[in-house]
Structure 1
Amino acid sequence: MARGIMALIIVAVVVIVHQTCSGSEPDLDSYYQHCPGSSCGILYINYPFRLTSDPENCGDPRYNLSCENDQTVLYLYDGRYYVREIDYTNYRILVVDPVFVDGYDSFIPRYFLDTSNFSLGDPYDLDTFTRVFFVKCEKPVNSKHHLNTSACFEDDGVVVDSSKRYRYVVLSGSALDLGDLCQIDQISFASWLDLPYDQDLRTISCSFVHDPSLWNFYLSWDEYEVGRPGEPGETYESKVSNYLKE
């Protein structure tokens, strides 16, 4: 008799705990609901992305985009970037620092971005890119690794130290050879895919430098992690847990 009563008590406890846990779990499907796509300017916004003006249950909240004056904007870390393209087939998004679109009030990206910004569990990763260092020097540097931007922007409207009036762009791989009396102003990325590895940057024209598309770069997202509409992907916590079990 006592054993039967104990069994009933155990069953009751299990039922109560199950109901309590089920009630406390968030409805993940509500965050990954497939909603009609949105648009901003010429861009179509679809899952996993969502505009901040969309209903809360649409899209993945980790992939918020803003629509500002018909311009799609991505806020990433401490930066603000214009979205130029969303490639849903290859799971990547093309972005650019606003300074290269709004006008060259200074030929320096407004926002610092480097590989150190990205870590495991972040919604984005770097895709195809070239790491770019924006450098200013006290003396001219004659090197094939240095793209002279001073000649292209004689009057950039920015007051700078006149002793460091020589400005250059140095691509990754050459950053350790910045030149004497030079310092890094900013670090960012670009998609310089058409340049051969040993390209002499001194031969590049100003028209090439002024091309805004040169300064775009791709970020990718993981389809496996975000899942598909109505089908949440693997969370960061579960990914780490599974990794530790291997």
Structure 2
Amino acid sequence: MWRERAFMAVLLLLVHKIHGGCPPSSCGKISNISYPFRLKGDPEKCGEERYELGCENNVTVLYLYSAKYHVQAINYKKNTVRVVDPALQHHNLSSLPLRFLSRSNFSDTYTQKYFYQSDPYQAGLRASVNWESLSFSHIVFVNCNHSVREKEKYVESGEWVKWEGKGYSYAIGGDLKAEDLEVGCEVKLVAPTSLSTYNNHSYTSMHTALAYGFEISWMQLACQKHCPVFYKDCYFDSSKQKLKCRQALLNNGTVSILQLYISLFNIAFFLSAMNK
């Protein structure tokens, strides 16, 4: 096992050398902007370019899919960041997200391994089968050409939300299955939230959940940094609130040459990404 430990020690020293000496930056209410994030204008060696945040009107801004989101909180232990669409206003029930966004936008939704994904953000906390997901629910807005108020899932939003000034407007909490979409109804908007305690029978509560925002993670990068050598699986242990790695060893407890090459490739990829 000494080879694995030696590799890990060398990697940690390299990471420290590259990113050491970078004090946290701040913007507005976010006062702990540190690796992997960097604030625009920080020294080049601090943070990673693809995790660069902006500071606009004293508000921390995250860039996601060519759009801007306001950062509400960063959890470095859990490797998550909570953001909200800037168009949402807590006390304005007529305000809606500007963009259609769902879990399907994130590559890890349909793949089990993060390591070869290129997206900087994921919608989950594990890179394996039986992965633990983030609290990532949806609010679905629909417009119908007739009233469906008798349907339990459909919550009236027409008092605040009008689609082209006609029809009947509803909001639905949670995922909408194809069989649940009534004939004559059209999906107009899907938006995420990570506030799991909202009341899905109350539009006011749904809007509050949207204004709370949604969490995404940088698990792919965290796993590369935390489990770069001989890993089999990388996941977030919610009971201990930390990342865990499972090693891939042969029956005799030794590491194969193939695993060694894969690990070296992963380390090189990780270090080159940090130096970009």
* Equivalent-residue separation in structure 1 for 2:60 and 2:179 (angstroms): 36
CA contact (8 A) 1:49 1:64 kept: yes
Unaligned runs of 5+ residues in structure 2 are 1-13, 108-116, 124-133, 228-261, 270-276
Bigger Rg, structure 1 or 2: 1
Query: Aligned residues: percent identity?
Result: 31
Q: CA deviation at 1:43?
A: 0.6
* TM-score between the two structures when normalised by the length of structure 1: 0.67
1:138 to 136, 142, 145: 145
**1:102-117 equivalent positions in 2, closer than 5 A:** 104=92, 106-117=94-105
| Match of residue 168, structure 1, among 164, 167, 171 | 171
For residue 89 of structure 1, give the secondary structure of its aligned residue in structure 2.
coil
1:12 equivalent in structure 2 = none
Q: Is the 8 A contact 1:132 1:189 kept in 2?
A: yes
1:67 maps to 2:70: no
Matched, 1:81 2:69: yes
1:42 matches 2:15? no
Give the letter for the 2:137 counterpart: T
Q: Tell me if the contact between 1:100 and 1:215 (Cα under 8 Å) persists in the aligned partners.
A: no
Do the aligned partners of residues 217 and 145 (structure 1) sit closer, same or farther apart at CA in structure 2, a change above 3 Å counting?
same
Structure-1 separation of matches of 2:168 and 2:154: 15
Work out the CA distance in 1 between the residues paired with 2:191 and 2:207. 16
User: Is contact 2:68-2:85 (8 Å) kept?
Assistant: yes
- Which SS does the other structure have where 1:224 is aligned? helix
CA contact (8 A) 1:43 1:85 kept: yes
Count how many residue pairs are aligned between Structure 1 and Structure 2. Answer: 197
Q: 1:211 to 1:31 in 2, by over 3 A?
A: same
Distance (whole Å) between structure 1 residues aligned to residue 188 and residue 61 of structure 2: 24
Distance 1:209 1:30 in 2: 46
Alignment partner of 2:135 out of 124, 128, 139: 128
In the aligned structure 2, how far is the partner of 1:61 from the partner of 1:31? 14
From the superposition, tell whether residues 185 and 210 of structure 1 become closer, same or farther in structure 2 (CA, over 3 Å): closer
Match of 2:189 in 1: 186
TM normalised by structure 2 equals: 0.61
Unaligned runs of 5+ in 1: 1-26, 229-234
Query: Equivalent of 1:147, from 155, 158, 165?
Result: 155
The 1:104/1:79 distance shift into structure 2, 3 A limit, reads farther
CA distance in 2 between partners of 1:132 and 1:209 (Å): 7
Find the aligned partners of 1:111 and 1:205 in 2 and give their Cα distance.
19
Residue pair 2:194, 2:213 contacting (<8 A) in 1 also: yes
1:118 aligns with 2:117: no
